[in-house]
Chain A
Amino acid sequence: MREPRDYDDIPGTYVFDAEQYRKGYHLNMFCMSLNKVESRDQFRKDEAAYLDRFPMTAEQRQAVLDRDWLQMLRLGGNIYYTYKIAASDGLSFQHVGAAMSGGGGMSLAEFRQMMLDGGRPIDGNRSRGEQRYG
């Protein structure tokens, strides 16, 4: 484990640093493969068989099958990579953002309304000490 860093204090944020890179390499490279239409077709046809091609951990694999977006980030996923799974499912960044919100998730309508109202407020969300997400 690396030494603590000042950005560890930012709440609800997974900074994609060397530690995350090393943890999530194969998960993210699986996601990268979805840039090809043939790969997306094969993945959709038999997800488990397709995932067998990548040396991911059992937990990473399960997170993909469950579409557990936060869990993927905890296991080293990077949002630009994991979003490719969502895109393949026909979901927008707002769907994924809603699902990750606050930990417990929000409905898409609630998330969209929050954005229309000016976004998630920065006040209260700068540091873990003042964390509230909402």
Chain B
Amino acid sequence: MLIAVLSGFIFALVLVFTGKYFKKKYALWSALLPLGLFVYFLQFVGRIGNGEIISTQYNWIPSLNVNLGFTLDGVSLIFSLMITGIGFLVYAYTAAYLKGHVFLDRFYGYLSIFMAAMLGLVLSDNVLSLFIFWELTSISSFFLIGFNNNKQSSRQSAMVALAITGLGGLLLLTGALILANVSGTYSIAEMLSSRDIIANSPHYIIIVLLIFGAAFTKSAQFPFHFWLPGAMKAPTPVSTYLHSATMVKAGIYLLLRFTPVLGDTPLWQTSLIIVGAVTMLYAAIHTLFRTDLKGILAYSTIAALGILVFLIGLGTPDALLAACVFILVHSLYKGCLFLVTGIIDHETGTRNTAVLSGLRKVMLPVAIAGILAAISNAGIPPSFGFLGKDLIYESTLHFGSWAMVLTAIAVITNILLLYAGFVAGVKPFTGSLPQQFEKVHTPSYLLYVPPLILAVGGILIGLFPIIIEGALIKPAVTALGANSSEVHLKLWHGFNTILALSGTTIAIGLLLYFLLKPSEKLEKLAQRFEFISPQNIIESVAYAFGYFSIYWSKIVQNGYLRHYITTIIVFLIVLVGYTLINHTSFEIDYDSFERLTVYEILTVLLLMVGTIYTVFSRSRLGAVASMGVVGLAISLIFVYYSAPDLAMTQFSIDTLTVILFVLILYKLPKYLNISNNVVRIKDGVLSLTFGLLITVLALEVLSQPQNTEISSFYAENAYKLAKGKNVVNVILVDFRGIDTFMEISVLTIAAIGVFSLIKLRLAKRFRNK
């Protein structure tokens, strides 16, 4: 199973090197990859149907608990078959749709990465690998939306989509980590057994909200839905594959996957029902105001995703069954409608529904596919869509006291969706053919066969639901933790409320379709309310945040070294000073002053005078010379206090520094006092406070007991182990020999730097200044 998941990545990698040859002739052959995977997953249908769950485990980073655990159960199987099956059709379709495109190889590469990531997502059992694949789908989606990267609008939409789905990814990671922390495992299967611990944990609410955030951003729920219409800038095969059939359902998958773990609480139910209901109504109403075919389909996809979230929120076995069925129904008809739209766009050059009509006369097979898909979308019997809609009504009708409201919402949404489906699938083909389209001809079979397969599939499954009942739907419902023994999919339930509701939906929907024609006037009307749309609000916030960041950076990162130093020192003084004021315990031992010798006092005085003169000297030579005096005084202190090696080193280094300074002194500009007195006094006060802090700190440390363990180790072993009697030298060249070696390397590098800076010849333009 690992190879099945990784094959897409491998294929994408191969394309990097062979792309040039690939895109000329062999593009169609790449469809064998999803086809092979489809067949591979098909062979599990029998075993999964018998209630088996197939899982494999590969260690990846065991120390971090990131393992590639793959589990294939009913839900995963439905998604895997959808990903590979629709993937196969899209791969084949693309070969004709983007024939001769310069970046065809790149396109297939992105598509394969996406397919692999999506498969990994739906098969992962480990929440961390689930997150990684989740992010990979966002990233491949970013590249595919921005595929026409010479257009500004494409790039913009890609950025928006990445920002929104990427935000969701972060929420998912946080949620997954907290969840793993609470349940003590990273495996989703194992989390099932700690369901009660999770539900009773104080972190339950935050986990659920984070998972919701991830699912809602990915599956384009209100108010995060707006990236999806923007994503329609991608070539149509991408819209079909990612932004309708598979990737946007990743959020739905996540909710389904966690239903047995987190579901069945008031928080879970209420939020999902409300968000789903708002999304489906909002998006369905929006379809009325669009004239672009892909825009209409995008909003109807959002509405469909809303329905799915709504169903998961209901959470009854009926509702979960309806969700599983509707996922398939939607993928079949919406995939088909998108592909049909792509053909229309490809052949006529427009997607404006107000203009398109009568195309059946020039592209009959496409018309058949479009109309069949519209029928399934409308839920007209005997299509698969009819069955799906029945199940939705059944679950809303049996939902306690809110049944009437919920059913009404579902009916309204379905009426509007029917309208949208007809506008996209029927309207372009009916009526009279305008003159401008008379030269349009039926496209290559590679373009119209894939949508036909999807459309016919939608009708066939409607007629014979038994095909998928035992094999796909039952195991999926079981995997969701519901009882599947009473699942029976059938077209005819007899005359009852549900049938009446279906009839009403179809009748009103058709009426709406015949009365209301899509027009640009309506679209303009909708644009007037654009300023209160979530997209506008979120974008404004994003811009405001951008400006704030620039403003803030200008304050914090102002580019003046002394401001940075001041900030650091002020914080240090405040924090350390505060602690010291509360905890100082040292006492000054005045007796020790009597033991001071004259030469000690003189040395210290020399040091102090030298330091002060360095600061206040008005000549650079004076400052450098007195700095040398300071160094020499320090080396004297080393002599007095038993550090002969230090004294020698300090003496020679100090001398060298002064010589170096003096050598280049005459090449430097005049030594000036640039700052004014106010700044100097301010800096002086700050510096003195800082110095005082260091003095107090030193005295405080001196009053504390000292740990001499390390020193005595070196002292005892210097001769025993290293055969040396000067302990300081032994430490440097023996115990810490490698460190000293590194130090020599650093000095060598500095020396090379100094040498080359001196020897480097200036470019001509600087030489004569």
Partners in one complex: no
**Which A positions have Cβ atoms within 8 angstroms of B?**
none
**Which B positions have Cβ atoms within 8 angstroms of A?**
none
